[in-house]
Amino acid sequence: MLELDSIFSPEGVLSRHIAGFRVRSQQLEMARAIAETIENRRILVAEAGTGTGKTLAYLVPALLAGGKVIISTGTKTLQDQLFNRDIPAARAALKVPVSVALLKGRANYVCHYHLERCLQDTHLTFVDREEIGYLQLIERYAANSKDGDKSGLREVPENAAVWQLVTSTRDSCLGSDCPNYKQCFVMEARKQALAADIVVVNHHLFFADVMLRDEGLSELLPACNTVIFDEAHQLPETASLFFGESISTGQLLDLARDTKIEALKDARDFLPLPDAIASMDKAARDLRLAIAEENTRIALTEIKRYPNFITALDHLSQQLAELLKLLESQAERAEGLENCRQRAAEHLYLIQRWRDDSEMDGYVRWVEVFHQALQLNATPLSIADIFQKQMTTSLRAWVFTSATLSVKKDFAHYNHEMGLNTAQTASWDSPFDYAKQALLYVPQGLPEPHHKGYTDQVVAAALPVLRASRGRAFFLCTSLRAMQRVHELLQATEGFDFPLLLQGQGSRTYLLDCFREMENAVLIGSQSFWEGVDVRGEALSLVIIDKLPFAPPDDPVLSARIEKMTNEGRNAFMEYQLPRAVINLKQGAGRLIRDETDRGVLMICDPRLITKAYGKQVWQSLPPMKRTRDLAEVEHFFADL
């Protein structure tokens, strides 16, 4: 512990070697708690307010402890930042000879097999010159790149259609049967991860592996002494996704496309196959069309409202079974055909399981409908037991950290949801002076959020504040519909001449770059901008939140969990819905003050913050800002800036 005191001191190695390092007592306390957790192989749930410096607080003990450490982050962006910036800086300052590897899911690496197949079959796949240009860039990149990570080829947009054709998925990877196995970028990344002392992954990859034994971590975990989850507030959502099961029409269309290519290559003489592929492809498309709505979630109990759905699903099962039968007769002709056979069998099994009541006890079954695809989901009602089982397989240290894990420093909700019954908990406040730096404003006179014209009145209340702040604002909405309406209304407001940026008009990175450059813009966003966004300085001086972020009560998983808790005699609202909303609100509010010199206003438009008994619990969980309901005080605050 004395060593940590010296490292984090004003004259210590971090001060000398890391630009912008500031001594914070909270950071040192957190580093001590993590060092103790690693040494004694315990479980720690640690909340660290914005500006605490939690990254160094866990990196320094992890680098000094020896042994193998897995660090899992919320996003690939944070993964890259840790690997390329934070870990090298800390390692150089501490002068420790620690090897580090970055491991992503296989869909992030160019696949030689699929790239070659694509280059041979461009007439089948591409109609677009731009995509053909991208394919040529990828071909050159694959020939010269050491790691094949698609984030290293910036000239090809991340959402370009060609990426799906030149990367593999869990379904389409041929594994050790692949003719390009020895050059495989994924296998090379796994090999480096096995040899490294510190491995940086993301939550999706971690849970995909824990459940599917799929991404190479299953070999890493047994040798690992410590697992650190950064942005740990995202884990309940990610774990629910991976502890459940799903199958989508997109996967079935991919199977049809790949089977068609493999059949042309290795079974051209087998005439029944093309018709069976076409029939299954059509059946998958028809299933999507059985529900006219899009961007919606429907519980299995509600599916009877769509009489064509079950008929279409049965027809798809039948066509998939026919295709599987034909593939079984041809699979031995080539690895690619065998892979398609395995996928067809797995997809059929998942559809049949989803239909079988006896198989799905303890799960909620639901359908999610997107613009072009439809997905069948089965989600566990509770993830606690499943996750606990994973943690007890062998003794190691587990650290869960984020700026938002508690409600008024009470971790009961998070620990219960994750099954962390024996965890130690700790909380450190932000070192920022919120009383001077920020103002919390709840406008007067707004109706309850269920009121028909609520969003229009929110915009009317926000306009004078946006003018006082001279733009420079995030307008965060709890739904896409509200986001679109806010954009419409601001666009139509006469004399409102601040630049407007809308989520969806470009990538998140592009919109943030524009926002910073413009210096007086209003960025209107939904879920994408509530967390993981860091805009320091005057460019962001106002964060407006349209209403408290309660999950929609008609969400199939939420309503099933509420029903379960109610049947157990528990208060689902206070134990589950309210804590989740508070944690989400803290994330959105956390966008405002990112630095000691930042100043700004947090405007929460929801009157329930004042009128409901639970409102006090909500605002007491926020940083200790000065509070007001007076618009004039907000205008004075901005005038003083």
CATH number at 471 reads 3.40.50.300
For 392, the 3-state DSSP assignment is: coil
pLDDT at 132: 83
Q: Which of 369, 401, 428 is the last residue of a domain?
A: 428
Surface-to-core class of residue 336, CB atoms within 10 Å of its CB (0-12 exposed, 13-18 middle, 19+ buried): buried
In a domain, 74, yes or no: yes
- Give 591's pLDDT tier (boundaries 50, 70, 90): very high
- 167: DSSP letter: B
Shared domain check, 478 and 587: yes
Beta-strand relationship, 363-369 and 374-380? antiparallel
Helix ranges (DSSP H) in 126-271: 129-144, 162-166, 185-195, 203-212, 217-223, 235-243, 249-266
Whose tokens are 């929460």? That residue is 604
Shared domain check, 26 and 136: no
Mean pLDDT, residues 377-397 taken together: 88
Shared domain check, 475 and 506: yes
pLDDT at 41: 94
CB-based contacts of 420, cutoff 8 Å, min separation 6: 43, 45, 400, 414
pLDDT at 469: 96
Express the helix, strand and coil content of the chain in percent, nearest 5 each: 55, 15, 30
Shared domain check, 519 and 594: yes
pLDDT at 164: 87
Shared domain check, 630 and 520: yes
Low-confidence winner among 75-89, 205-219, 559-573 (lowest mean pLDDT): 205-219
259 sits in the region (left: phi over 0; alpha: psi -120 to 50; else beta) called: alpha
In the predicted structure, residue 122 carries a pLDDT above the cut 70:
no
For 397, the 3-state DSSP assignment is: strand
In a domain, 459, yes or no: yes
In the predicted structure, residue 1 carries a pLDDT above the cut 70:
no
| Summary count for the chain: helices (H), strands (E) | 30, 18
In the predicted structure, residue 524 carries a pLDDT above the cut 60:
yes
- Give 522's pLDDT tier (boundaries 50, 70, 90): very high
Structure tokens belonging to residue 547? 């209403």
The whole-chain average pLDDT of the chain stands at 91
Low-confidence winner among 11-15, 221-225, 517-521, 570-574 (lowest mean pLDDT): 221-225
pLDDT at 61: 97
pLDDT at 9: 94
Taking every pair of Cα atoms in the chain, the longest distance, rounded to a whole number of angstroms, is 80
- Give 19's pLDDT tier (boundaries 50, 70, 90): confident
pLDDT at 124: 55
In the predicted structure, residue 221 carries a pLDDT above the cut 80:
no
Task: Quote the pTM value.
Answer: 0.90
Cα–Cα distances in angstroms (integers) from residue 147 to residues 187, 222, 469, 526, 533, in the given order: 10, 25, 46, 34, 27
pLDDT at 254: 93
Quick check: 541 and 600 in contact, CB under 8 A?
yes
298 versus 161: the higher-pLDDT residue is 298
Shared domain check, 7 and 80: yes
In a domain, 191, yes or no: no
- Give 218's pLDDT tier (boundaries 50, 70, 90): low
Percent of the chain with pLDDT over 90: 74
Structure tokens belonging to residue 225? 């002494």
Mean pLDDT, residues 432-447 taken together: 96
Shared domain check, 597 and 470: yes
Shared domain check, 612 and 558: yes
pLDDT at 131: 82
CATH number of the domain that 250 lies in?
1.10.275
Measure the CA–CA gap between 538 and 520, rounded to whole angstroms. 9
In a domain, 445, yes or no: yes
In a domain, 174, yes or no: yes
In the predicted structure, residue 251 carries a pLDDT above the cut 90:
yes
In the predicted structure, residue 127 carries a pLDDT above the cut 70:
no
In a domain, 236, yes or no: no
Domain of 213 in residue numbering reads as 2-98+197-230+382-428
Percent of the chain with pLDDT over 70: 97
- Give 126's pLDDT tier (boundaries 50, 70, 90): low
Structure tokens belonging to residue 483? 């986001």
Shared domain check, 181 and 291: no
Identify which of 551, 269, 579 has the alpha carbon closest to the alpha carbon of residue 412: 579
Quick check: 578 and 418 in contact, CB under 8 A?
no
Shared domain check, 572 and 466: yes
Q: Which of 380, 398, 418 is the last residue of a domain?
A: 380
- Give 217's pLDDT tier (boundaries 50, 70, 90): low
Shared domain check, 546 and 448: yes
How many separate domains does the chain show? Answer: 4
Torsion of CA 6, 8, 13, 18, to 10 degrees: 180
Residues belonging to the chain: 641
In a domain, 158, yes or no: yes
In a domain, 528, yes or no: yes
Shared domain check, 604 and 545: yes
pLDDT at 123: 59
pLDDT at 476: 97
Mean pLDDT, residues 397-417 taken together: 95
